[in-house]
Chains A and B, each alone.
Chain A
Amino acid sequence: EPEVTQTPSHQVTQMGQEVILRCVPISNHLYFYWYRQILGQKVEFLVSFYNNEISEKSEIFDDQFSVERPDGSNFTLKIRSTKLEDSAMYFCATRTSGRAYNEQFFGPGTRLTVL
């Protein structure tokens, strides 16, 4: 069964450093999402991406964040200058085109720790 994969599974970085989180979507999926879950809190939407551009973003997704699909397969989330409060689990999710009830398939997540 096809699945969404994410690398790395864990990332430890120093405050102010840049990090890139990677996701490989399911091959026929066209909509891509990033979510984050700070420890003990609910899962929060960051950004959605379709047709090589951002379609929606939340207030969390400020200028420190960016997304791209550099090679047509990977879907990346970049944080330019990490802050302590960026420590969280980051989930990638992908979806086929079509109706709203098409489920989003989630990757296993990347745990980011900013020291």
Chain B
Amino acid sequence: AQSVTQLDSHVSVSEGTPVLLRCNYSSSYSPSLFWYVQHPNKGLQLLLKYTSAATLVKGINGFEAEFKKSETSFHLTKPSAHMSDAAEYFCVVSVWNSGYALNFGKGTSLLVTP
């Protein structure tokens, strides 16, 4: 079975400061990992994905994540938060033996204060 644990349900940062959203995964197989973002009353948008080609993955809007197999982690970072980054962020794992179904973490709500 595969699962993800998002270590913080809420994160609050000031505009212009770094963002760190933490995610640990568990998988019996080589995982594919994703971060999705959901803005209020909107659908889910892919931020970035780990494809095993590179451990440091760059996504949209300045976000990036580093896959660390030894720590089973896939933390999401951004050097400088913008007000528009306020949203719900989901760490997601997909494994081939589940029909590539996505297994979502519980989400981290990011608040950005002026």
Check A56 against B99 for contact (C-beta < 8 Å): yes
- Binary per-residue interface labels of chain A (36-48) against chain B in the complex, 1 for a CB within 8 Å, 0 otherwise: 0000011111001
With CB as the reference atom, state the residue of chain B lying closest to A106: B44
Does A103 touch B at the CB level, under 8 Å? yes
B46 to chain A, nearest CB (A): 5
Q: Is B49 in the interface zone, CB < 8 Å from A?
A: yes
Residue A100 contacts which of B44, B90, B100 (CB distance < 8 angstroms)? B100
Docked-complex contact B106 and A42, CB < 8 angstroms = yes
Report how far A106 CA is from B45 CA in the complex, Å.
Answer: 7
Interface SS of chain A: strand
Interface assignment of B98: CB less than 8 Å from any CB of chain A:
yes
Q: A93 to B43, alpha carbons, bound, how many Å? A: 10
B32 and A100 contacting across the interface, CB-CB below 8 Å: yes
Task: Determine if A45 and B34 form an interchain contact, defined as CB atoms under 8 angstroms apart.
Answer: no
Q: How far is the CB of B51 from chain A (nearest CB, A)?
A: 4
Check B107–A45 contact: CB distance below 8 A.
Answer: no
- The distance in angstroms between the C-alpha atoms of A103 and B96, with both chains bound, is 13
Is the pair B102, A35 in contact by a Cβ cutoff of 8 Å?
yes
